[in-house]
C-alpha cells in the first residue's frame, strides 16, 4: 500500500500516514519517505507505537546511530540505551528532575536555535524525536528552513559568508546560558569542530545556511564581529516565514534533516509535567543518500 503524504507547509514540513514504523518498511515505502524527506526537511509521523529497538531500527535506514553526548557528561546516568538521546525532563530513575539538576541546566541549551550534533565529528544527519508523553501546555518544537533562509539572503551577504568556517562546541551554546562549569574530560570531549557556514545538499544540489548556537567563533573574524554576524544570520533565518512550530501529540515521531534545518524547544513547566521524549540521531555521511537510493 502506498503511504499518504500531506503537506503541512508548502515546502518544508509534511505529515506521513498509512505507514507503520514499528516494522521494517517495504522498499517502495522507504523510497517514498526518502523522496518526501528530500523535498521537505521535516516529516511528522503521527500515532506510532515504538519500542526503543523499533525506533532505532527505523533510524538505521538513514545511517549509523550516533552515541548520545550524555555518555561524555561527567556524573550523568543513562535511563536508556546510549544510542538514544534522552530529551525527557526526567532523571535516571524516571522522576521529574530537580530544579538544580545539572542535566536540567545542560538541556536548557535545547531552547536555543541549533542543529543536532554540529559539534561532533561526524556531524548529525537525521534526528528522529519520539513523544512518549507530552506536556499539556507548551513544550512545542520550532523548526527553521535553512534552505529557504539561504535563498532569502541579500546577494551581498551570500558573497560575504560563502566560504566562512564556524567553530562549533557544546560549550559555546552552554556559555550563552551562563553555564561554564565543565570537567577536564568534558573540555576534551567537547573541543570545537570546524564547519562551513554554507553548504550544499548532495541529493538536491540546494545550498543552505549551516548555523547553530553551538558556533562560538568564525575563523578569520574577531570574536565581536563573529558574534554580531552570527546573531544577524540566526535572526534572519528564524523569521516567521522560515519557521514552523510543531505542537506535539503523544506518539508523534518527527524526523528532521540536521544538515539544513535548525530547531529549538519552547518553554513548558518542566518541574510539573512529564515530557518524555527519545531521540535517535544518525551520523552524516555525505554520500550515504546517493549510495542507498541507487
Nearest distance in Å: CB 87, ligand OGA: 4
Q: Does 55 bind ligand OGA (CB under 6 A)?
A: no
> What length does the chain have?
294
Nearer to ligand OGA, 32 or 110 (CB): 110
Name beta bridge partners: 144.
Answer: 243, 262
Nearer to ligand OGA, 195 or 279 (CB): 279
Nearer to Mn ion, 116 or 145 (CB): 116
Nearer to ligand OGA, 3 or 87 (CB): 87
Query: Do the strands 141-145 and 243-246 form a parallel or antiparallel pair, or are they unpaired?
Result: antiparallel
CB contact at 8 A, 54 and 20? no
What does 109-165 look like in DSSP terms, one character per residue?
A: GGGS-B-TTTTSSSPEEEEEEEEEE--SSS--EEEEEHHHHHHTS-HHHHHHHTT-E
Q: Does 265 bind ligand OGA (CB under 6 A)?
A: yes
Q: How many residues form the binding site for ligand OGA (CB under 6 A)?
A: 10
Q: Does 259 bind ligand OGA (CB under 6 A)?
A: no
Of Mn ion, ligand OGA, none, which one sits near residue 117, judging by CB under 5 to 8 A according to partner kind? none
Nearer to ligand OGA, 110 or 208 (CB): 110
CB contact at 8 A, 43 and 59? no
Return the residues of window 268-287 that contact ligand OGA according to CB under 6 A: 277, 279
CB contact at 8 A, 49 and 186? no
Nearest distance in Å: CB 62, ligand OGA: 15
- Contact track, ligand OGA, 73-92, x by CB under 6 A: --------------x-----
DSSP state of 208: E
Nearest distance in Å: CB 42, Mn ion: 13
- Other CB atoms within 10 A of residue 248 CB: 18
Q: Does 257 bind Mn ion (CB under 5 A)?
A: no
d(CA 42, CA 19): 16
The closest of 142, 132, 133, 131 to 246, measured between CA atoms, is 142
Residue in 15, 66, 86, 116 binding ligand OGA, rule: CB under 6 A:
116
d(CA 256, CA 279): 11
Nearer to ligand OGA, 55 or 263 (CB): 263
CB contact at 8 A, 175 and 227? no
CB contact at 8 A, 257 and 126? yes
Query: Do the strands 13-17 and 42-45 form a parallel or antiparallel pair, or are they unpaired?
Result: parallel
Judged by CB under 5 A, which stretch of 113-121, 153-161, 192-200, 224-232 contacts Mn ion? 113-121
Of ligand OGA, Mn ion, none, which one sits near residue 29, judging by CB under 5 to 8 A according to partner kind? none
Residue in 29, 110, 173, 213 binding ligand OGA, rule: CB under 6 A:
110
Nearer to ligand OGA, 79 or 207 (CB): 79
What residues line the site for Mn ion (CB under 5 A)?
116
What residues line the site for ligand OGA (CB under 6 A)?
87, 110, 116, 127, 129, 141, 263, 265, 277, 279
Amino acid at each position: 500500500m502506498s503511504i499518504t503524504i500531506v503537506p503541512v507547509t508548502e515546502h518544508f514540513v509534511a505529515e506521513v500516514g498509512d505507514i507503520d514504523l514499528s516494522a521494517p518498511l517495504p522498499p517502495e515505502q522507504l523510497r517514498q519517505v526518502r523522496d518526501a524527506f528530500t523535498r521537505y526537511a521535516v516529516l511528522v509521523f503521527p500515532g506510532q507505537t515504538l519500542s526503543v529497538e523499533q525506533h532505532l531500527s527505523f533510524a538505521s535506514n538513514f545511517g549509523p546511530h550516533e552515541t548520545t553526548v550524555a555518555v561524555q557528561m561527567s556524573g550523568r546516568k543513562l535511563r536508556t540505551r546510549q544510542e538514544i538521546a534522552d530529551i525527557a525532563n526526567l532523571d535516571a530513575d524516571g522522576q521529574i528532575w530537580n530544579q538544580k539538576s545539572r542535566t536540567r541546566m545542560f538541556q536548557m541549551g535545547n531552547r536555543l536555535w541549533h542543529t543536532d550534533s554540529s559539534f561532533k565529528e561526524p556531524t548529525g544527519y537525521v534526528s528522529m524525536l519520539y513523544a512518549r508523553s507530552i506536556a499539556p501546555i507548551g513544550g512545542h518544537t520550532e523548526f527553521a528552513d535553512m534552505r529557504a533562509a539561504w535563498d532569502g539572503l541579500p546577494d551581498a551577504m551570500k558573497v560575504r559568508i560563502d566560504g566562512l568556517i564556524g567553530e562549533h562546541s557544546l560549550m559555546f551554546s552552554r556559555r550563552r546560558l551562563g553555564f561554564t562549569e565543565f570537567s577536564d574530560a568534558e573540555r576534551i570531549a567537547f573541543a570545537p569542530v570546524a564547519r562551513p557556514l554554507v553548504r550544499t545538499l548532495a541529493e538536491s544540489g540546494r545550498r543552505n545556511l549551516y548555523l547553530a548556537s553551538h558556533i562560538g567563533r568564525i575563523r578569520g573574524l574577531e570574536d565581536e564581529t563573529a558574534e554580531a554576524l552570527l546573531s544577524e544570520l540566526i535572526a534572519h533565518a528564524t523569521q516567521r516565514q522560515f519557521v514552523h512550530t510543531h505542537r506535539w501529540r503523544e506518539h508523534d515521531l518527527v524526523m528532521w534533516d540536521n544538515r539544513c534545518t535548525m530547531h529549538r524547544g519552547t518553554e513548558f513547566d518542566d518541574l510539573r509535567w512529564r515530557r518524555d521524549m527519545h531521540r535517535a540521531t544518525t551520523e552524516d555521511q555525505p554520500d550515504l543518500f546517493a549510495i542507498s537510493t541507487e
